[in-house]
Structure 1
């Protein structure tokens, strides 16, 4: 995987680095396939507890590489519409896969996040921004729909419909400070502290029960898909019983009495 670096660190934390710094980690066909390969590894590795995604160099991801997209349109042998649809489906599948990873995903956003790169930020479960981070949903300004790679579904759920419409319809960029104010990111930190701060958050999550964390992500994601409080509570009840049967609750109680950190079972 030349365009995506995947490193497994201590405490079950995996660091995924988008690695085309000379092009602000812009997306190419190789990038897409490398990302799918990395997601295959992460989805099947139960020892990975938390995934951190960031960009190499001075940017997170500038969206699709326009030079590369011109080559794809000219060289496609299935016709532009058919070729474009296949490419779009392959790219947007990455956002769905990141959103559905069993592990919590934290985006550590450095510099620009635009287009499908912005969608990748939205697909994460948590977002921390460097002071240099900036965000662009500018498709409407170049003749395309701003709803791309899941943005139309993810963005309004994170910041509300009115703010989403303003940013998508105008296509204006916004900075890290505004992203924090509207609730897109949970915090903004100096650039040099971005990765350390994100790793601290990942470590705090990884210290909890692996099964409990996984079920928390699953139950919240499922609750967003249903319209009934009764159904959400029924799902929560079943999840709590499953978690209680793992033995992690007993270990947490023993650890509390013994005034030590809990030693939860690993998958």
Structure 2
């Protein structure tokens, strides 16, 4: 399908999703949220996609929700009647990838300003890199709103006092890319003009590995974070047992012995 607020491209086993509302600093509108959900579903269902890269056009990655399109009552907009579907009873996800249920890794390439709901890709992305022009902050309290899932996720990624400082300072203090790297919020900072190139280099490296093993490993880490360590270990072993029965699990050792590049079939 065609998209109006994002760009979606698939090449070399990578689906690249680019926020494309630069005049609004890529702020999330209801239409953009709908299109992102469709793009995530398309990528997850496409056998030619092994990894997703998410970035933005213009000087911002994502400036959070578009306040000009928030209803007067402050409710999150859904296509269905109010409270008729389960997601409406959960914390609103807005543009967040379905990181708890999808299998394919998401790499966020933060190209510029990243704040509010834009932080969701930073805290739920599997790998996050940033341009040296990137800046991070959480403006909720500065516009009279409680910072909800955004800061709760930040507090799982950053030291509590750092997350608290970001949340309570609001729009009045921004974290530069270098500081975000020092704190582990992003794993790499690159020159701005090389950001997308570097993102695709990382994606290409991941795509050289066995895709089902990558997905099982991702799920073991991601789902293991929500349970005690012993249960996480057992869950991870269950994923290992499932993948070891696949053709790819046989192809990997065989290719190693034969000193050749594995021919992954994703089966």
Same fold (TM over 0.5): yes
Unmatched tracts of structure 2, length 5 or more? 79-86
Q: Please show how residues 247-266 of structure 1 align to structure 2 within 5 Å.
A: 247-266=247-266
Q: Please show how residues 212-223 of structure 1 align to structure 2 within 5 Å.
A: 212-223=213-224
3-state SS of 1:92 partner? coil
Unmatched tracts of structure 1, length 5 or more? 74-79
Distance (Å, rounded) in 1 between the aligned partners of 2:111 and 2:233: 38
Distance (Å, rounded) in 2 between the aligned partners of 1:153 and 1:165: 10
Distance (Å, rounded) in 1 between the aligned partners of 2:201 and 2:191: 15
Cα distance, 1:86 vs structure 2: 4.1
Distance (Å, rounded) in 2 between the aligned partners of 1:169 and 1:250: 52
1:38 paired residue number: 39
Distance (Å, rounded) in 2 between the aligned partners of 1:100 and 1:159: 23
Q: Quick check: 1:118 aligned with 2:123?
A: no
1:225 paired residue number: 226
CA deviations over 1:181-219 (Å, ceiling 9, x no partner): 100000000001101111011111111111111111111
What is the number of residues matched between the two proteins? 253
Q: Quick check: 1:141 aligned with 2:160?
A: no
3-state SS of 2:103 partner? coil
3-state SS of 2:96 partner? helix
For the Cα contact (< 8 Å) 1:180–1:186, is it kept in 2?
Answer: yes
Q: Please show how residues 122-133 of structure 1 align to structure 2 within 5 Å.
A: 122-133=123-134
What is the TM-score when the length of structure 1 is the normalising length?
Answer: 0.88
For the Cα contact (< 8 Å) 1:251–1:262, is it kept in 2?
Answer: yes
CA RMSD of aligned residues (A): 2.0
Pair 260,241 (structure 1): closer, same or farther in 2 beyond 3 Å? same
CA deviations over 1:47-84 (Å, ceiling 9, x no partner): 31000000012211111223333xx32xxxxxx25xx1
For the Cα contact (< 8 Å) 2:111–2:131, is it kept in 1?
Answer: yes
1:7 paired residue number: 9
For the Cα contact (< 8 Å) 1:39–1:98, is it kept in 2?
Answer: no
3-state SS of 1:199 partner? helix
CA deviations over 1:83-103 (Å, ceiling 9, x no partner): x14459596253252453211
For the Cα contact (< 8 Å) 2:19–2:57, is it kept in 1?
Answer: yes
For the Cα contact (< 8 Å) 1:13–1:48, is it kept in 2?
Answer: yes
For the Cα contact (< 8 Å) 2:248–2:265, is it kept in 1?
Answer: yes
Q: Please show how residues 107-256 of structure 1 align to structure 2 within 5 Å.
A: 107-147=108-148, 150-171=149-170, 172-227=173-228, 229-256=229-256
2:50 paired residue number: 49
Pair 134,17 (structure 1): closer, same or farther in 2 beyond 3 Å? same
Pair 157,25 (structure 1): closer, same or farther in 2 beyond 3 Å? same
2:81 paired residue number: none
Pair 249,37 (structure 1): closer, same or farther in 2 beyond 3 Å? closer
